[in-house]
Structure 1
């Protein structure tokens, strides 16, 4: 497995080959000795013996109907694209946010112009929409999540983006390591309630069949584990990361039915995210959404690792990480952060590694 570190001389991001002792920066040519403690193992596979040994609770197979794939349905390479983009501003309430609609519009622009998502395949939910069915109410958000995965086939690429408030509620089922459910807050959350991570997982994670990939970008407070995925890669302000196993000890399966989900979260479960002008220099945006889009626009989308490091550097270099965003929890069901970013398969690595 390889990983990304910054050159100590010029701060350029370098990709470390497995077991490398030294690496030369292709920009400033400085030679850096590699600390072997950087190399961490990827998360265990969903049914590893290590997990059984640690908790003594076997993980059961995913139950029918999600546990089976119809015969004769090969995993495709290219399929349809579909996205749900939510920007909730909470107008005329004490919860009002100024940058969430900007985040949603920027994400739509990225999907349309960089990844060729058809206009008709992007469902926008903001308070700017005239259609009442396109307002980010709890009911409309629920319908949108079901629409996102409805009829998905191998080769499909799905995106869920949310910019708004997140919160926490006490968990009573025992499937949360910290004792709290993470939530997303629709525009009518004060009257209709919030959407729990359990519901989000059941709606857009568990049904995903083999060959379908979902990227979730959640720019909200307390959003670290808002999709309830089995594994979490936590990166701190210095760029170091560690894998965490978040599978419930009860054995309840929170993964997919063979598909793949990658969720980028703006902060940890106990932290808050912010809107700021410090990054765009013009308009208020979510720090996480801006750094995510900038990483892609600047060519750091070759792997998930390069994206995480680029996002961290953006936050760190603009002095936004001291009191607010101190980590980027990024959750994966399988594999590791050196895997190629699916949206941008045609990009060449920015640095030549020798």
Structure 2
């Protein structure tokens, strides 16, 4: 059985293989030494052991997938609005291209690089506080494997406090699977696919919620930007904003029928996703004029760059408008030409300007037009609430 032990340096939970005597943290790279359990007849007190005993480690499977019940949502937060986001900023950015496989994507690395650039230049995120996981990283601990992504999510929320602003961005494949614990209205769990999903499995929305949503204390704000197929409710948040083409909206209640609380311990979470749970997201060169990007990531950054990120409602409308420009509703997923299309000259343009025109056709599949989604831990007026990272 895999066990969890806290890193001796940064306290990130690490998955400890059976029999291991030391493990290296993929976040801070420090080694944690594990002492064997004392012999059965030893009377030495635990405090005399030179390193943490493996007997004190918590089993992994149930702690990630079925965590203890969260506090009641009606008594966990002090009165009044949370303090403004002015404290430390921290981000995890994941771009998975599935290189040299049949599932290869072409825009995810660009998505990750553009998101990092935007967070640093537009929202003053320190580079030292941005953890990048892509296949282009030289350090094996920075590859977007299931284990590395899981540990990065733990690092993101570790020790967060009021005033902190956190960002989780994922660009890659998403999927869905049958829900076995009856906490989904539609009967399906949403999943993210790490680069080693074929051998290590997928990351299920239940695990994502338990890791980066439910632990958040009062005053902490988390924004997730997930550019993947079937990603509409991938954070399992209680409320989904249903918005039509005219910008009118209603909040849809996604709280589990079982009554399980899928919100936070007082913090705020907002999730922007590439499409609804039954849709797929495009990986396309049509928006940039040459380089491949995820349609949703491009539309998100473009909306902010053009000054449409004042409120959550204005940001969503701008994103949807950009994506509707390239999708012909009568032809499913077929991409069409954009009149007067221009490449951003400040954010995306600095990274992908000058890319060669694509020499491959975009994969087409008959389906509904991709519709970016917004979900949150609480209902709110989307045109009245200011957006900030």
The residue aligned with 2:96 is: 88
Aligned to 1:266: 274
Structure 2 match to 1:248? 256
Deviation at 1:68, TM superposition (A): 5.7
Supply the distance in 2 between the matched residues of 1:191 and 1:238 (Cα, whole angstroms): 44
Q: Over residues 75-127 of structure 1, what are the superposed CA-to-partner deviations in whole Å (9 max), with x where a residue is unaligned?
A: 46511000000000001111100000100000000011111111110000000
Residue of structure 1 aligned with 2:375, choices 321, 331, 337: 331
Per the alignment, residue 222 of structure 2 pairs with 214
**Residue 299 of structure 1: SS of its match in structure 2?**
coil
Structure 1 residues 339-350: aligned runs within 5 Å: 339-343=385-389
Tell me, yes or no, if the aligned pair for 1:230 and 1:332 is still in contact at 8 Å.
Answer: yes
Contact 1:237–1:327 (8 Å) recurs in 2: no
| Contact 1:239/1:312 (<8 A) preserved | no
Q: Which moved more, 1:177-186 or 1:236-245?
A: 236-245
CA contact (8 A) 1:229 1:331 kept: yes
Q: Equivalent residues in 2 for 1:40-79 (5 A)?
A: 62-63=70-71, 75=83, 77-79=85-87
Residue 62 of structure 1, CA deviation: 3.2
Higher RCO (C-alpha 8 Å, min separation 6): 1
Separation in 2, partners of 1:187, 1:268: 23
Structure 1 residues 320 and 273: alpha-carbon distance in aligned structure 2, compared to 1, 3 A threshold: farther
Structure 2: unaligned runs, 5 residues or longer: 1-68, 334-368
Contact 1:162 1:219 in 2 (8 A): yes
Larger Rg: 2
Q: CA RMSD in A?
A: 2.0
| Greater alpha carbon shift after TM alignment, 167-176 vs 237-246 | 237-246
Aligned to 1:120: 128
Contact 1:234 1:328 in 2 (8 A): no
Q: Describe the shift of the 1:213–1:76 C-alpha distance in structure 2 as closer, same or farther (beyond 3 A).
A: same
What secondary structure sits across from 2:131 in the alignment?
A: strand
**1:97-136 correspondence runs (5 A):** 97-136=105-144
How far apart, CA to CA, are the structure 1 residues paired with 2:322 and 2:236?
26
CA distance in 1, matches of 2:259, 2:297: 33
Q: Which runs of 5+ in 1 are unaligned?
A: 1-60, 344-354
Matched position secondary structure for 2:262: coil
What is the TM-score with the length of structure 1 in the denominator? 0.75
Written as runs of structure 1 = structure 2, the 5 A alignment for 1:1-354 is: 62-63=70-71, 75=83, 77-319=85-327, 323-324=332-333, 325-334=369-378, 335-338=380-383, 339-343=385-389
CA distance in 2, matches of 1:189, 1:238: 39
CA, structure 1 residues 237+202, in 2 after alignment: closer, same or farther (shift >3 Å)?
Answer: same
Q: Is the 8 A contact 2:76 2:266 kept in 1?
A: no
Counterparts in 2 of 1:245 and 1:69: CA distance versus 1, 3 Å: closer
1:109 partner SS:
helix
